[in-house]
């Protein structure tokens, strides 16, 4: 098997996984995003660090969000729902690339399309019985590879089983909100 498949260094991934399996100190990754409201429906999230295996690493990214004009925004960036779906798709893309590489499967092309419909009565507080979030999200994975249908099905099952954001979408997460009121 080649050492680099789908842009993934297979030996490095195997070594990383082995380290996580064998050393409890290497089992945790923590992420942090700090978001500031920039007026109207616009916000800017800053990614400045993450922690892996007890070490903190610097990062420097901004993620801008806004609503479309029809939802009272300026249409300058994707809205939070589009970013949420993009995060799911990106996570699953990593899962397909890495899992396929570990299985010796070359990906020729991969496209993930996610759709969901919200009932705005929940978001707007017009009906307490309406969920402000999604009741259902559809995910279509379009994968082109030379692998057999059986191997592709095995790959798909592995990705669905191990994708962090797929798990975040499909299972409840315990949320721990804390309100800090700033005084003048």
**pLDDT tens, 78-88?**
999 999 999 99
Region 45-54: mean pLDDT is: 96
Express as a percent the part of the chain with pLDDT over 70. Answer: 99
| Average pLDDT over every residue of 12-36 | 95
> Are both 67 and 139 inside the same structural domain?
no
- 124-146 pLDDT, tens digit per residue, is 999 999 999 999 999 999 999 99
Distance (Å) of CA 164 to CA 11, 63, 71, 167, 178: 22, 20, 30, 5, 24
Domain-located, residue 178: no
One domain, residues 84 and 46: no
Q: Say whether both 56 and 67 belong to one domain.
A: yes
DSSP state of 181: P
Residue 19 inside a domain? The answer is: yes
> Per this entry, what is the length of the chain?
184
55-71 pLDDT, tens digit per residue, is: 999 999 999 999 999 99
Q: Are 85 and 93 in contact (CB under 8 A)?
A: no
Average pLDDT, the chain: 96
Whether residue 9 has pLDDT greater than 70:
yes
Same-domain check for residues 59 and 70 = yes
pLDDT at 2 over 60: no
Asked if residue 181 belongs to a domain, the reply is: no
Residues 65 and 155 placed together within one structural domain of the fold = no
Domain co-membership, 157 together with 90: yes
**Are 97 and 136 members of one domain?**
yes
- What is the arithmetic mean of pLDDT over 89-99? 98
Q: What's the pTM?
A: 0.93
Q: Are residues 17 and 83 in the same domain?
A: yes
3-state secondary structure of 62: strand
Where would I find the H helices in the chain? Answer: 10-22, 80-102, 120-123, 149-162, 164-170
Distance from C-alpha of 152 to C-alpha of 168, rounded to nearest angstrom: 23
Same domain, 72 and 119: no
Residues 136, 73 within the same domain: no
Domain count of the chain? 2
71 in a structural domain: yes
Question: Cα–Cα distance between 15 and 155 in angstroms, integer?
Answer: 20
**Distance between CA atoms of 34 and 66, rounded to whole angstroms?**
16
**Residue 128 in domain:** yes
Looking at the structure, do residues 71 and 112 belong to the same domain, yes or no? no
pLDDT at 184: 86
Domain containing 97 equals 4-25+78-170
Domain end marker among 42, 77, 112: 77
pLDDT number for residue 38: 98
The reported pLDDT for the residue numbered 3 is 86
Residue 103 belongs to some domain of the structure = yes
Whether residue 182 is contained in a domain is answered as no
Q: How confident is the model at residue 116 (pLDDT cuts 50, 70, 90)?
A: very high
Measure the CA dihedral 41/133/138/34, to 10°: 50
Is 176 part of a structural domain of the chain?
no
What is the 8-class DSSP label of residue 26? G
CB burial string 68-101: b at 16+ within 10 A, e below: eeeeebeeebbeebeebbebbbebbbebbbbbbb
66 and 121 housed in the same domain: no
- To which residue do tokens 């939070």 refer? 80
Q: Is 148 a residue whose pLDDT tops 70? A: yes
């Amino acid at each position: 098997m080649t050492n680099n498949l789908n842009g993934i260094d297979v030996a490095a991934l195997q070594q990383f996984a082995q380290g996580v399996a064998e050393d409890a100190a290497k089992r945790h990754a923590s992420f942090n995003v700090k978001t500031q409201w920039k007026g109207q429906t616009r916000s800017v999230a800053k990614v400045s660090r993450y922690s892996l295996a007890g070490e903190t690493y610097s990062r420097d990214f901004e993620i801008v969000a806004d609503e479309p004009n029809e939802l009272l925004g300026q249409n300058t960036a994707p809205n939070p729902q589009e970013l949420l779906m993009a995060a799911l798709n990106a996570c699953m893309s990593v899962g397909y690339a890495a899992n396929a590489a570990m299985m010796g499967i070359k990906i020729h092309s991969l496209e993930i399309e996610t759709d969901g419909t919200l009932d705005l009565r929940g978001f707007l507080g017009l009906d307490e019985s309406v969920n402000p979030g999604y009741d259902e999200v559809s995910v279509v994975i379009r994968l082109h590879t030379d692998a057999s249908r059986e191997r592709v099905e095995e790959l798909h099952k592995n990705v669905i089983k191990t994708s962090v954001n797929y798990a975040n979408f499909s299972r409840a997460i315990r949320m721990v909100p804390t309100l800090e009121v700033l005084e003048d």
